[in-house]
A and B are shown apart, each in its own frame.
Chain A
Amino acid sequence: MTLVAGICPNGHVSYPTHPRCPECGEPQEGTLDLADRTGEVVTWTHSTATPPGVREPNTLAIVEFDITDVADASDEFVRALGQVTTDEVETGDTVEPVYTEELRDPEAGIKVPESQDWDGYRWKPV
Chain B
Amino acid sequence: MGVAVIGASMTKFGQRDAWIRELLSQAGEECLVDAGVAPDDVEHLYVSNMASGEFEGQTGVMNALAHDLGVLPAYSERVDQTSSSGGAGIYEAWQSVASGASDMTLLVGGEKMTHKTTGQATDIIASITHPDEYKHGVTLPSFAGMTARHYLERFDAPRESLARVAVKNHKNGVDNPKAQFQKEITMEKALESPIIADPLRLYDFCPITDGSAALMFTTEERAKEITDEYALVSGVGGATDTHVVHERDDPTIMGGVVESSEQAYEMAGLGPDDLDVAELHDMFTILEFLQLEGIGVAEQGTAWEMAMDGATAKDGDLPINTSGGLKSKGHPLGASGVAQGVEIYEQLVGEAGPRQVEADTALACNVGGFGNCVITTIMEAAE
Contact = CB atoms under 8 A, between A and B. Distances in A.
Interface string A41-67: 011111111111111001011100000
Interface residues of A, number: 39
Given A16-B132, A43-B251, A62-B146, A54 B127 contact: no
A62 B148 CA distance: 13
B145 A45 contact: yes
B137 interface: yes
Interface of B: 54, 118-120, 122-124, 126-127, 130-139, 141-142, 145-147, 149-150, 153, 194-200, 242, 244-247, 251
B130 A16 contact: yes
30 contacts: A15-B247, A16-B130, A42-B150, A43-B147, A45-B145, A45-B200, A46-B197, A47-B196, A48-B196, A48-B197, A49-B119, A49-B122, A49-B141, A51-B122, A51-B123, A52-B120, A53-B137, A58-B137, A58-B142, A61-B146, A80-B246, A81-B136, A81-B138, A82-B136, A91-B150, A109-B123, A110-B123, A110-B127, A111-B127, A116-B135
Please classify the interface of chain B as helix (H, G, I), strand (E, B), loop, or mixed, using the class held by over half of its residues.
helix
A47 B138 CA distance: 8
A47 B127 contact: no
B131 A47 contact: no
A81 B197 contact: no
A124 interface: no
Most buried by B among A14, A42, A60: A60
Ordered nearest first, which 3 A-B pairs have the shortest CB separation? Answer: A45-B145, A54-B137, A51-B123
A35 interface: no
A52 B133 contact: no
Contacts of B132: 15-16, 81, 120
